[in-house]
Amino acid sequence: MTEASAHVRVENLRKTYQTRRDEIEAIREVQMEVAEGEFISILGPSGCGKSTLLMIVGGLLPLTSGTVAVGGESVSKPRRDTGVVFQAPVLMPWRTILKNVLFPIESLGLREEDYIDRAHELLEMTGLSGFADNVPSELSGGMQQRVAICRALIHNPNLLLMDEPFSALDAMTRDLMNQELLRIWEEYKKTVLFVTHSIREAVFLSDRVFVMSPRPAVISEIVTIDLPRPRELAIEETPEFNEYVAHLRGLIEH
């Protein structure tokens, strides 16, 4: 990958948290190059620094040393071309679904009228068109998570950061969401960094899987998932898919 072609470039990243009592070294040394339009999963044990890495790339957390660049520009605060989906949907309970989806427009100081059609289009694409005027408590957990995805996409960011977005969902809803996410990704051609604990989910979704070591984190392996696209759930039954799963499990257990 050349200098110009990397969408996300992380070099010599270190992150040490200062707590009142001591220091916690979360990330020791991370290098990462992600091309425009790539789907990358980040896999690693609990507490290894996955969320920390994602929040630094999103400009939501300062780094200790090293550089992080998105689209060739150094990241130090949240960027307009980046959308973030957190582990919990964190919707505003008093706002309608439509108003939740439009929230980034308001906080970016853009004109809401210009984005209403797009909000409806996203809701329709995620199967929520009948719910624009409902409030979050009237939706299931999976539906709320879809609202959070619409919200992350409303301002048309070309980089999507997702931190275990489906971990709270039951297995069936999760399968559906994975398929839906791939559909969105194929349609809108975003670059995606997707944090997960699930090896199968990582293999199903990704072009490449970055495996992180236990804390303090380094990227211990990068596995290219050479499975055909578009991918349907049936691919999980193939020997090729299960070889990737077994290989990654071996790397993580090592």
Ligand X SMILES: Nc1ncnc2c1ncn2[C@@H]1O[C@H](COP(=O)(O)OP(=O)(O)OP(=O)(O)O)[C@@H](O)[C@H]1O
Binding segment for ligand X (CB under 6 A), chosen from 49-57, 75-83, 133-141, 145-153, is: 49-57
198 contact, one of ligand X, Mg ion, none, CB 5-8 Å limit per kind: none
Give every strand in the sheet of 23-35, ordered side by side: 73-74, 65-70, 6-18, 23-35, 217-224, 208-212, 39-43, 191-196, 159-163, 82-85
The minimum distance between CB 228 and ligand X, in angstroms, equals 30
Q: Residue 19 interacts with ligand X (CB under 6 A)? A: yes
Q: Residue 82 interacts with ligand X (CB under 6 A)? A: no
Total interface residues for Mg ion by CB under 5 A: 1
CB nearer ligand X, residue 71 or residue 214: 214
Give residue 60's identity as a one-letter amino acid code: L
Site for ligand X in 157-216 (CB under 6 A): 215
Q: Residue 230 interacts with ligand X (CB under 6 A)? A: no
Q: Residue 52 interacts with Mg ion (CB under 5 A)? A: no
Task: Tell me, residue by residue from 165 to 204, as one string, x for binding to Mg ion by CB under 5 A and - for no binding.
Answer: ----------------------------------------
Binding segment for ligand X (CB under 6 A), chosen from 18-26, 63-71, 101-109, 140-148, is: 18-26
Among 2, 3, 4, 46, binds ligand X (CB under 6 A): 46
Cα distances (angstroms) measured from residue 237 to each of 43, 136, 196, 204, 245: 21, 36, 21, 11, 11
Binding segment for ligand X (CB under 6 A), chosen from 42-50, 90-98, 124-132, 142-150, is: 42-50
Q: Residue 49 interacts with ligand X (CB under 6 A)? A: yes
Q: Residue 48 interacts with ligand X (CB under 6 A)? A: yes
Q: Residue 51 interacts with ligand X (CB under 6 A)? A: yes
**Cα-to-chain-centroid distance, residue 19:** 27
CB nearer ligand X, residue 17 or residue 188: 17
191 contact, one of ligand X, Mg ion, none, CB 5-8 Å limit per kind: none
Interface positions with ligand X (CB under 6 A): 17, 19, 24, 26, 44, 46-52, 215
Contact residues toward Mg ion (CB under 5 A) are 51
